[in-house]
Structure 1
Amino acid sequence: MSGLKHLRNRVKSIKSTQKITKAMQLVSAAKLRRIKDRAEALDDYSSILTNIMNDVKLNINFMNLSPFEQKFFNEDIKGKPHLCVVMTSERGLCGSFNSQIIRAVKRDITKYQEQNVQVKLIVAGKKGYDALKGEYSNLIEEYYHITKEKYLPVALGIKNKILSLTEQDKIGSCSLYYNEFKNALMQVMTKLSIFPVEPLGINRPVESTKLPDSPFEYEGSNLVSGLVDLYVVGMIKHGFLQNKASEEAARMTAMDSATRNAGELIDKLTLQLNRSRQAIITTELTEIISGAEAL
């Protein structure tokens, strides 16, 4: 009978876990719908900022830019320190969501160190910080705790830290690591170069010195500094929203899988429980019949 009690307790425990995973799946699905809309709404804004920065790089005379502004367009970064901005989640239970980012960051850190390039880290999210602090604690410049969905103060903090490190000439380039949301089943680990700004979709012959016609006009003092400020915070916000949507999608998928696995395990244990009960009943009936025949 102790075996039956153990099986009943296991079934009861797994059913309780299944209710939790099902609830987490529904919560993540609701959050995903809301965050997905916000992320898609910011895509056009981020794209326009990137196009403007690329246009500035191709059409503005660098001699007219301040030393601080030139750093965001200068491609001569050989040997200069590199900053990695790593975005992860605060909570787990989301499959390989965090691990694929951590693996990419560690791989790039090893590559930079082999090239004798100093690396600095800005980490957003407890899971990324826990995974990196043991081995790379000396590289971490800043760690940001993300409370619920209030990412804007964190985005502004990261932007200010990036601009401060750039102004102090402590970094020569910066990359952003996050998961790009494709759909509920696919999230792609993405490494985005914040600066130096990389031309997107512009192919012109090497021998040609003529710049493409610019659709923008630039007038006013400190215009490029303002654009740089908008661009950096825009890229950080884009990464945050894409990462958050990917996190909820990954958690929804993981909890759906856990719920189905729990159901299959409950079925197996229930079958085992019924067979055990039948075996006990059969044994008891055999003993009763044998006793009656003995009389």
Structure 2
Amino acid sequence: MSGLKHLRNRVKSIKSTQKITKAMHVVSAAKLKKLKDQAENLNDYSSVLSAIMHDISASDNLLDLPAEDRRFFSKDLENMPHLLVVVTSERGLCGSFNSNVIKRVKLDIKQLEEHNKEVKLLIIGKKGIDALKNEFGEKIVGYEHVAQGNYECVAREVKDKIIGLVESQKVGACYIYYNKFKNAMTQIMTKEQILPAQPRSESKINNSSEYEGSGLVHNVISLYISGQINYGLLQSRASEEGARMTAMDNATRNAGELVDKLTLQLNRSRQAIITTELNEIISGAESV
């Protein structure tokens, strides 16, 4: 009977877990639509700013800019320490969502160091800091915690950090790593160059533009970096909820299959006990 009790407890425990995973699937599905719409709405804004930055770098009056602004467009940034902005999640239970980004970052760090490039890390998300702090703790120059709805604040903080590091000549080229949302089952690990500015493939460049006015270009630089970070954050959050939704759906199905298997085992065990007791009763009656 102790075996039956153990099986009943396991079935009960798995059913409780199944309810939790099903609830998490529903919550992630609700969050996903909102985040997906926000990321898509920001796509054009980010692309236009990227095009403007490349337009400025290709214009004839680049030398007329102040030295502190001209630094953001210089090809010399590639020869300076590289800053890698790593976007991960705050929570787990989302499959290989974080490990794909971490693996790519570690690979790029190794390759950059083989070419004698210094690397610095700016990490967004608890899972990223947990995965990288032991091995690359001395390279981390900043960490940002992401709470629900504070994406613009985080983007602003990261933007200020990047601008400060570039202006103080502590870093040069800057890249961002994040998961780009394709659908609920597919997230694409993406690496994008922030500095020096590169246009996106869909951007239209107009090299004839002229930019005048004190501080105008500096404001564009600030908006561009903030937009790139915010876009990466929203894409990452949408991808995270898609990955979690898929993982919880798989967990719910697996729990259901395990419950069915254990229920069958429970019924067979109970039937075997009943059969044994009947045989004992029949044997006893015959002996009388």
- Tell whether the structures are fold-level matches, with TM greater than 0.5: yes
Residue identity matched to 2:14: I
User: How much does 1:53 deviate?
Assistant: 1.0
Structure 2 distance, partners of 1:217, 1:88, is 38
Task: Determine helix, strand or coil for the equivalent of 2:138.
Answer: coil
Task: Tell me which residue corresponds to 2:5.
Answer: 5
Structure 1 distance, partners of 2:73, 2:199, is 10
Task: Determine helix, strand or coil for the equivalent of 1:85.
Answer: strand
Task: Indicate conservation of the 8 Å contact 2:77/2:195, yes or no.
Answer: no
Task: Determine helix, strand or coil for the equivalent of 1:181.
Answer: strand
Structure-2-length-normalised TM-score: 0.96
Does structure 1 residue 278 correspond to structure 2 residue 268? Answer: no
Does structure 1 residue 241 correspond to structure 2 residue 206? Answer: no
Q: Residue deviations 1:32-77, cap 9 Å, x none?
A: 0111111111111011111111111112422112222222211234
Residue identity matched to 2:261: K
Task: Indicate conservation of the 8 Å contact 1:87/1:243, yes or no.
Answer: yes
Task: Tell me which residue corresponds to 1:66.
Answer: 66
Does structure 1 residue 291 correspond to structure 2 residue 284? Answer: yes
The structure-2 alpha-carbon separation of the partners of 1:167 and 1:266, relative to structure 1 and needing over 3 Å to count, comes to same
The structure-2 alpha-carbon separation of the partners of 1:149 and 1:174, relative to structure 1 and needing over 3 Å to count, comes to same
Task: Tell me which residue corresponds to 2:41.
Answer: 41
Task: Indicate conservation of the 8 Å contact 2:18/2:251, yes or no.
Answer: yes
User: How much does 1:152 deviate?
Assistant: 1.6
Alpha-carbon RMSD: 1.4
Residue identity matched to 1:283: T
Structure 1 distance, partners of 2:138, 2:256, is 46
Task: Tell me which residue corresponds to 1:227.
Answer: 220
Structure 1 distance, partners of 2:50, 2:206, is 17
Task: Tell me which residue corresponds to 1:209.
Answer: none
Structure 2 distance, partners of 1:87, 1:189, is 11
Task: Tell me which residue corresponds to 1:85.
Answer: 85
Task: Indicate conservation of the 8 Å contact 1:88/1:124, yes or no.
Answer: yes
Structure 2 distance, partners of 1:90, 1:216, is 42
Does structure 1 residue 23 correspond to structure 2 residue 41? Answer: no
Structure 2 distance, partners of 1:105, 1:201, is 23
Task: Tell me which residue corresponds to 2:164.
Answer: 164
Q: Which structure 1 residue ranges, 4+ long, deviate > 4 Å from structure 2?
A: 199-202
Structure 2 distance, partners of 1:62, 1:216, is 11
The structure-2 alpha-carbon separation of the partners of 1:218 and 1:17, relative to structure 1 and needing over 3 Å to count, comes to same
Task: Indicate conservation of the 8 Å contact 2:24/2:245, yes or no.
Answer: yes
Structure 2 distance, partners of 1:250, 1:154, is 22
Residue identity matched to 1:262: A
The structure-2 alpha-carbon separation of the partners of 1:60 and 1:200, relative to structure 1 and needing over 3 Å to count, comes to farther
The answer for unaligned runs of 5 or more in structure 2 is: none
Residue identity matched to 1:221: S
Structure 1 distance, partners of 2:180, 2:167, is 29
Task: Indicate conservation of the 8 Å contact 1:123/1:129, yes or no.
Answer: yes
Task: Report % sequence identity.
Answer: 60
Structure-1-length-normalised TM-score: 0.94
User: How much does 1:149 deviate?
Assistant: 2.8
User: How much does 1:199 deviate?
Assistant: 4.3
User: How much does 1:216 deviate?
Assistant: 4.1
Does structure 1 residue 218 correspond to structure 2 residue 211? Answer: yes
Does structure 1 residue 257 correspond to structure 2 residue 262? Answer: no
Residue identity matched to 1:149: G
Residue identity matched to 2:236: N
Residue identity matched to 2:256: G
User: How much does 1:107 deviate?
Assistant: 0.5
Task: Determine helix, strand or coil for the equivalent of 2:253.
Answer: helix
Moved more, 220-229 or 94-103: 220-229
Residue identity matched to 2:196: P
The structure-2 alpha-carbon separation of the partners of 1:176 and 1:213, relative to structure 1 and needing over 3 Å to count, comes to closer
The answer for unaligned runs of 5 or more in structure 1 is: 203-211
Q: Residue deviations 1:174-221, cap 9 Å, x none?
A: 00010111111111010010001124459xxxxxxxxx8546442212
Task: Indicate conservation of the 8 Å contact 2:18/2:256, yes or no.
Answer: yes
User: How much does 1:79 deviate?
Assistant: 3.6
Mapping of 1:141-180 within 5 angstroms?
A: 141-180=141-180
